[in-house]
Amino acid sequence: MSWLKWRPRPQWVPGNRVELLENGEGHFPAVLDAIARARHEVLIETFILFEDKVGQALQRALIEAARRGVQVDMTVDGWGSIDLSKPFLCALAEAGVRVHMFDPQPRVLGLRLHVFRRMHRKIVIVDGRTALVGGINFSADHLEDFGPQAKQDYSVLVEGPLVARIRSFMLEQLGRDAGERRPNAGSTKKAGDAEVMFVARDNRHQRDAIERQYRAAIHAARHEVVIANAYFFPGYRLLRAMRRAVRRGVRVRLILQGQPDMKIVKHAARLLHPQLIAAGVEIYEYCKRPMHAKIAVVDEAWSTVGSSNLDPLSLSLNFEANVMIRERAFNADLRARLDRLMHEECKQLQSEAIKPRPGGWRVLLDTLAYHATRRFPAWAGYLPAHVARLEPAVPAASDRHGEAAWRPR
């Protein structure tokens, strides 16, 4: 099926309970517990699903849910999860789990193509009552016992009226009616005091939806902005909003990767960081392990947790989803955790420590990388765009009702 777009504009929804989850140690048990309690429906979207201990635990949980009559749909990205084996997928399909692949493409000479316009969201919905949204994939590298390369990341658990809105979004992506096998009406009941907004970006109707929410929050800031982001290279308007915030007395702090794994980002940052520091923005490099977070908090009045980096891919090409939260207790907790990172596991960059590299060709390389990264989204719009679509992950199977669960395309 063609990849569908969600049209409603984001709205603040009151009456929700929110809980911050940190790393795989917090996220994975919450997901597995929710699936174990599922009675009607489980909906999952994830960029990466690996066949490691985390992926196998998820597979077992989904198979058990499907066998007790729960309707299970899982969408994985065809680039991020390209290495899933046929036995792994067939075991899910035989139990009645419907696995959808977002834009699957074959390897060419061993290489994965169609890198851009990926389904980068990480969402779990159970029975229309519980939602988990964040940046954590289903892979063991989100657990501390993975070692020095274990990722630092976050998600948020939501209960309350917003969950129904996220569920409708998820079903629309699958081409299904939101009223289909509708869970209990309890999903619309008040569960807490948090105002929460679900924001998804696409390449047609909500192109700058997430960036627009960031800019609005920074414009409204009066005391402090703290952003922790794995790939930070935003556009001019967001950078301008941060500089203007500093000029009106707001303390702006960034927590970024100490060692980015993409060289072009590292080269471009050599020019971006001095500009920000000169404007009064504080930059902290997270040094303990890879930073994979996509979170922010403003004045303890607004925060966001989600899948979107502040870079050209996330802000202009990939399909992303963030949750924005207005609840002081949640935001104070998030700010306290970020404070701990900055004081215990980061080093602050100083202007005198950021010096241009010697050699004219090196300066030219940095400059080219900087402008190429900044302008890439606009250039990408002129390139031939493949049609993103969902396809079944296995050729044929039968669901528990005896009907074809996968229809060949």
Compute the distance between CA of residue 57 and CA of residue 24 in angstroms, rounded to an integer: 13
Which of these is catalytic: 27, 100, 122, 267? 122
Task: Indicate if 401 belongs to the active site.
Answer: no
Backbone phi and psi for residue 44, each to the nearest 5 degrees, phi listed first: -135, 135
**N- to C-terminal Cα separation, the chain:** 8
Which of these is catalytic: 27, 73, 103, 120? 120
Query: In the Cβ-directed half-sphere of 40, how many Cα atoms lie within 13 Å?
Result: 15
Question: E strand or H helix at 305, and its extent?
Answer: strand 302-306
Question: Is the separation of the CB atoms in 142 and 58 below 8 Å?
Answer: no
Question: Is the separation of the CB atoms in 161 and 16 below 8 Å?
Answer: yes
Which of these is catalytic: 294, 311, 333, 366? 294
Six token digits for residue 332: 């104070």
Residue type for 408, please? P
Six token digits for residue 269: 């940052």
Which of these is catalytic: 127, 141, 311, 333? 127
Task: Indicate if 122 belongs to the active site.
Answer: yes
Residues 6+ apart with CB under 8 A from 119: 3, 45, 47, 75, 77, 80, 102, 103, 318, 319, 388
Which of these is catalytic: 202, 299, 311, 366? 299
Which of these is catalytic: 292, 311, 333, 366? 292
Compute the distance between CA of residue 140 and CA of residue 166 in angstroms, rounded to an integer: 26
Backbone phi and psi for residue 175, each to the nearest 5 degrees, phi listed first: 75, 30
Question: Is the separation of the CB atoms in 197 and 169 below 8 Å?
Answer: no
Question: Is the separation of the CB atoms in 183 and 41 below 8 Å?
Answer: yes
Task: Indicate if 53 belongs to the active site.
Answer: no
Q: What does DSSP say about strands 123-126 and 130-134: parallel, antiparallel, or unpaired? A: antiparallel
Six token digits for residue 131: 């939602």
Backbone phi and psi for residue 378, each to the nearest 5 degrees, phi listed first: -65, -40
Backbone phi and psi for residue 374, each to the nearest 5 degrees, phi listed first: -65, -40
Compute the distance between CA of residue 12 and CA of residue 326 in angstroms, rounded to an integer: 9
Report CA Rg, the chain: 21
Task: Indicate if 294 belongs to the active site.
Answer: yes
Catalytic residue annotation: 120, 122, 127, 292, 294, 299
